Amino acid sequence: MSERVQTVAVVGRDAPVWLAAAAVQRALGRTGVTVRVVEQETRLADVDVYAAVPSIASMHRLLGLDERLILQVCNGVPMVAQRFSNWAKGAPPYFVAYDDEPPPGGDLPFTQYWTKGMLEGLRVGLEEFSLGTACARLNAVPVPPSEPAPLSASYGYHLDAPRYAELAKQLALRLGAQAAPAGLRNVDVEGDRIAGIDLADGTRIAADLYIDASGAEARLIGNLAGAGFEPWSDWLPCDRLLTASAPRLPNLPAFSQISAFKSGWVGLFPLQDRTALVAAYSSGAIGDAEVVELASVISRMPVGGDAVVSELRPGMQQRPWIGNCVAVGQAAIALDPIDALDIHTTHGCISHLMTLFPATAGEFPEADAYNRSIGAFGTNLRDFQAAHYCLNRRFDDPFWDRVRDTAMPPGLKRKVDMFDARALVPLTDEESFYEQGWSGLLLGCGVIPKGYDPRVDGLPDEAHIQKVQDRLRGVAAIARQMPPVEQFLGLDHAVPAQVSGQA
């Protein structure tokens, strides 16, 4: 009979390697599992930013990281939504916010009531009924209600990436993860297993389980027999990233601004001390220098000379767990930076790994379950991102025409078709976004439902109107009570004492 997993080696860089190490160490350190980290050279530049959807907060709770500390150390700003402009010529911008789903088993989704209203002439968009969007417009932060409320929303963060990675490193080391004495020289592979890791100083590390957190490089998993990478460039066509800094915005917004241009998009991510700028584009369609110029024009800000470019290759490992090696984060699922899913991907992989953490070293029958779950998880995230691209309405820009004319991935097609028919979102296993997230996105992308659930007709017209008005008023009233970003961050000098009093 095989033995328990006693030693774990985590190989990789930046936030993912330390988050993975911290998670394993915190959960299993006291059972005698040792975690050794082989840190690779960073791929982060000073200008980099981590934009993270709200799931990051639950990861921090699990790791015992305090929100105030993170925001302070990483010059963080809460991200209540993302605002998308110019994805359809002539259409107004739309928000993707993070409204909490109502508890299951209750009323029909509000989208159904809204759709009936819309089909009968209601002129107010669905996003007016989203608490997250209302807060974003007011630059307010939807702090969680003290007791369960019918309407609530969550927020993620914009964080300075190098600082966040350093914070994760300090956390992992404090928890007891051990940093290897030297960098990676060689990965010793035997077929579909890793035999050991050779370090630059000649030491060799052998472990029962290896975690690949090397990012898109997929340094471990990519070299194992049976590995295969499935590219997603048909639907996520940007292959190059440019990252730079712009001055801090005088009045901090509570959202990221994502603006499409003829060969890609430019995102602005407010931080406390600067504004991070990321452009994703197709290298075949535009040069780096032109992007810098364009970014400056689109953002209406001087874009610094600190710009850094890197390559992007969206896709995923067909088998993110092979033999004794488990890939997490971008090493498993490499996404486009749109929709702020980088940390979310890392977190999702880590939490699946913890759920399936092998009972014994050796054969690892858990791998199939992990590969199936991560496959579904990655595909659903890809579909969410692909919606922006596939459903764009920037006609006559060749870059945008091509992706619009490409057949959608089947899961996205099903969601689009059912939303179009009935305002329904067919959810599957391992979804990260639910009814409201998808509805907001699809409507923003111009998918307007033609029908709704006939049970809505069970409500008499007056009651229907009342319901819609109540929700509209409710959202506005709650949003008005929420603290503005600067007050939330304690940057509001008028009332500094209150915030420190809370901490």
Closest CB 366 distance from another protein, rounded Å: 7
Nearer Cβ to another protein (165/209): 209
Q: Which amino acid is present at 357? A: F
d(CA 374, CA 366): 12
Residues that bind another protein (CB under 8 A): 1, 4-5, 27-28, 30-31, 33, 62, 105, 351, 354-360, 365-366, 368-369, 373, 414, 417-418, 421-422, 424, 426, 428-430, 451-455, 457-458
Question: Who's near 106: CB < 8 A, 6+ residues apart?
Answer: none
Nearer Cβ to another protein (31/146): 31
The CA radius of gyration of the chain, in Å to the nearest whole number, is: 23
Closest CB 44 distance from another protein, rounded Å: 29
Closest CB 10 distance from another protein, rounded Å: 16
Closest CB 394 distance from another protein, rounded Å: 27
3-state secondary structure string, 294-329?
Answer: HHHHHHCCCCCCCCEEEECCCEEECCCEECCEEECH
User: Where are the alpha helices (H) located in 153-310, listed in sequence order?
Assistant: 161-175, 288-299
Nearer Cβ to another protein (273/457): 457
Closest CB 418 distance from another protein, rounded Å: 6
Closest CB 110 distance from another protein, rounded Å: 16
Instruction: State the distance between the two ends of the chain, measured CA to CA, in whole angstroms.
Output: 51
Nearer Cβ to another protein (351/406): 351
d(CA 199, CA 216): 21
Question: Who's near 287: CB < 8 A, 6+ residues apart?
Answer: none
DSSP single-letter state for residue 332: T
Closest CB 371 distance from another protein, rounded Å: 11
Residue 358 tokens read as: 């092998």
Nearer Cβ to another protein (153/328): 328
Nearer Cβ to another protein (30/123): 30
d(CA 324, CA 256): 39
Closest CB 416 distance from another protein, rounded Å: 10
Nearer Cβ to another protein (253/358): 358
d(CA 230, CA 368): 17
Question: Who's near 112: CB < 8 A, 6+ residues apart?
Answer: 423, 452, 453, 455, 456
Nearer Cβ to another protein (26/382): 26
